[in-house]
Amino acid sequence: MTTSFQDLIEEARLSARALLDYGESLFSPTIRLGVTGLSRAGKTVFITALIHGLTRGGRFPVFEAFATGRIARTYLAPQPDDGVPRFAYESHLQNLIAQRRWPSSTVDISEMRLVIDYQRQNGADRTLTLDIVDYPGEWLLDLPLLGKSYAQWATESLALSRAAPRVHLAQDWHAHLATLVPEAPQDEQATLTAAKLFTDYLRACRDERFAMSLLPPGRFLMPGNLAHSPALTFAPLDVPGDGIAPEGSLWAMMARRYEAYKDIVVRPFFRDHFARLDRQIVLVDALSAFNAGPEALQDLEAALAGILDCFRIGRGTLLSTLFRPRIDRILFAATKADHLHHASHDRLEAVLRRAVSRATARAESTGAAIDVVALAAVRATREATVANGRDKLPSLLGTPAPGETANGEIFDGNTEVATFPGDLPVDAAQLFRTDSFRGLTASAADTSDFRFLRFRPPLLERDGADEPALPHIRLDRALQFLIGDRLQ
Ligand SMILES: Nc1nc2c(ncn2[C@@H]2O[C@H](COP(=O)(O)OP(=O)(O)O)[C@@H](O)[C@H]2O)c(=O)[nH]1
Ligand SMILES: [Mg+2]
């Protein structure tokens, strides 16, 4: 199977696009930064805040080139790929700032080019081009399928679906599966039903009560224009991991469509997008996992291991010496840290660091520098101390989104409230133990240990006609790691 990766990589590197990239990067230094994360992880908000901060004078003390005034100007430029949707920066920003609404959800890839005019530390004037590529993390989690046969994938998916809490959500699908004979003649109706029930199961796992991360194939939950096509109409069968499908059988039909999925969906993504990235930030919504419970956190860890495996693919080929080295920095970022008091920011980082380091130990070395940060691209809360009798409680002030509830109160989206989000434990390892805390998976909302409200974007103080900077947490640290070394 590794040879097929190899072929794919060489194919990608030799593609006209890659050669063009190479030529361009000789001419003007370019970084292609991938921004990924599962749906709702915070990609759109992150990119919008990053562009706004760089082009409109954000407050980035830890981003050295910016803080010391060496960046003369940053501006938007036409993107390099004519076939990829443009990142809708202006409308996302308008939503955030003028409407105080979070940008509407997107499920496709998009791209935006920034040009940074800066002065090197030695005084020379230079330009760095930053291409930002926003793509769903679900697509990334599909890449491991390239190395798996249908039978291997089916065996793994079934094993996963037989563990708690997934097994409860898989009941209908499992019941139907029990009626199927893999060696029986192919049967379109049975396949349609199996695919539907399997998709329902994946969707149930993604629900906020369970917040499972590892749910391939990614397009089953975001089919786009492939909905109802045969490439998305298959499901795992109970077959031996090393078995061979008899010709004309149900099993053979499923296996053929699984291969079609890889050809139509996974390979083109790898070749046209993933293989061209230089740097990567992976956004992780750890708070959703806390809301759901320890099982969700463990599932997240498994997904991170899968993601790290993807970055290992694509290094160390002969041709990589001909072209610029591929992904050499990966940042894992826990988003929405503004839901926690600052005392817990380091703890959130520690939780993610632990999940990533165990995943790194399992994956072979990626050859890339890896770092971890807890951040909020847009900070929607402020901190305050609220007196409660003689106690002083550290709390967060923010405007809960309309419809959010707490202690039986339903918020209208206009009232600012003080909340006590609760603290993360000092010992990150504690959270990964089963039964270490209660989440929505195992209990009702009012008895779970963590419950994070969704807040509206912050109300910004306008200073004259200028657009104010968006408040953030550690966005500058992320920038420093992702591009700081290329601005020296
Ligand atoms: N408070 C807060 N909420 C955020 C932040 N980033 C994202 N969110 C929330 O997460 C949701 C999903 O973010 P979005 O960027 O659309 O995620 P995407 O699907 O990965 O592009 C938003 O609608 C917000 O409710 C942040 O920095 N702070
Ligand atoms: Mg988005």
pTM of the prediction? 0.92
Choice from 91, 102, 381 to test ligand 1 binding pocket (greatest atom count within 8 A of CB): 102
Residue 288 Cβ < 6 Å to ligand 1: no
> Taking the C-alpha atoms of 373, 378, 381 and 382 in order, what is their torsion angle to the nearest 10 degrees?
80
pLDDT tens readout for residues 46-75: 999 999 999 998 999 999 999 999 999 999
Q: Which residues of 130-169 are buried (b: 16+ CB within 10 A; e: fewer)?
A: bbbbbbbbbbbbbbbbbebbbbebbbbbbebbeeebbeeb
Choice from 38, 43, 45, 109 to test ligand 1 binding pocket (greatest atom count within 8 A of CB): 45
Residue 44 Cβ < 6 Å to ligand 1: yes
Q: Give the integer Cα–Cα distance in Å for 469 and 49.
A: 9
Q: Give the integer Cα–Cα distance in Å for 46 and 87.
A: 12
* Closest C-alpha residue for ligand 1 atom 9: 42
Phi, psi at 406, each rounded to 5°? -150, 135
Ligand 1: atom nearest CA of 380 is 1
Single-letter amino acid, residue 388: N
* Closest C-alpha residue for ligand 1 atom 5: 336
Residue 170 Cβ < 6 Å to ligand 1: no
Q: Give the integer Cα–Cα distance in Å for 18 and 135.
A: 19
What's the N-to-C CA distance of the chain in angstroms?
41
Q: Which two tokens stand for residue 167?
A: 């097994």
Q: What is the DSSP letter of 104?
A: P
Residue 107 Cβ < 6 Å to ligand 1: no
CA neighbor of 382 nearest in space, from 341, 344, 415? 341
Residue 102 Cβ < 6 Å to ligand 1: yes
CA neighbor of 250 nearest in space, from 189, 188, 179, 186? 186
Answer yes or no: are the C-beta atoms of 46 and 52 closer than 8 Å: no
CA of 140 from ligand 1 middle (Å) equals 19
Q: Which two tokens stand for residue 474?
A: 């550690």
Tell me the HSE value of 317 on the side-chain side, using a 13 A CA sphere: 24
Q: Give the integer Cα–Cα distance in Å for 202 and 291.
A: 19
Residue 256: CB partners within 8 Å, gap ≥ 6? none
Residue 41 Cβ < 6 Å to ligand 1: yes
Confidence (pLDDT) at 28: 80
Q: Give the integer Cα–Cα distance in Å for 206 and 213.
A: 7
Q: Is 100 left (phi over 0), alpha (psi -120 to 50) or beta?
A: left
Class of residue 385 by CB neighbours under 10 A (exposed 0-12, middle 13-18, buried 19+): exposed
Confidence (pLDDT) at 64: 97
Q: What is the DSSP letter of 390?
A: T
Answer yes or no: are the C-beta atoms of 142 and 93 closer than 8 Å: no
Cα distances from 236 to residues 33, 185, 206, 221, in angstroms, run 34, 16, 18, 16
* Closest C-alpha residue for ligand 1 atom 28: 336
Q: Tens place of pLDDT for every residue, the chain, 488 residues?
A: 444 666 666 666 656 666 677 666 666 899 999 999 999 999 999 999 999 999 998 999 999 999 999 999 999 999 999 999 999 999 999 999 999 999 988 889 999 999 999 999 999 999 999 999 999 999 999 988 988 999 999 999 999 999 989 999 999 999 999 999 999 999 999 999 999 999 999 999 999 889 999 899 999 999 989 999 999 999 999 999 888 899 999 999 999 999 999 999 999 998 889 888 999 999 999 988 888 888 899 899 989 988 887 777 544 444 444 444 478 899 999 999 999 999 899 999 999 999 888 777 765 566 788 999 999 999 999 998 888 788 888 889 999 999 988 878 899 999 999 888 777 878 877 777 777 778 877 777 777 777 788 899 999 887 666 778 999 999 999 999 999 999 99
Q: Which two tokens stand for residue 49?
A: 């805040």
Single-letter amino acid, residue 347: R
Residue 336 Cβ < 6 Å to ligand 1: yes
Ligand 1: atom nearest CA of 134 is 21
* Closest C-alpha residue for ligand 1 atom 23: 102
* Closest C-alpha residue for ligand 1 atom 13: 42
- Strand (E) or helix (H) holding 129: strand 125-134
Ligand nearest to the CA of 287: 1
Residue 138 Cβ < 6 Å to ligand 1: no
Torsion sign across C-alpha atoms 39, 145, 309, 312: negative
Strands 125-134 and 30-37: parallel
pLDDT tens readout for residues 198-210: 999 999 999 988 9
Q: Give the integer Cα–Cα distance in Å for 132 and 48.
A: 11
CA of 222 from ligand 1 middle (Å) equals 18
Strands (E), 390-460: 391-398, 405-406, 409-410, 417-419
CA of 103 from ligand 1 middle (Å) equals 8
Cα distances from 299 to residues 212, 292, 409, in angstroms, run 6, 11, 32
Residue 211: CB partners within 8 Å, gap ≥ 6? 288, 289, 291, 292, 296, 299, 441
CA of 45 from ligand 1 middle (Å) equals 6
Residue 338 Cβ < 6 Å to ligand 1: yes
Residue 324: CB partners within 8 Å, gap ≥ 6? 22, 25, 278
Single-letter amino acid, residue 262: K
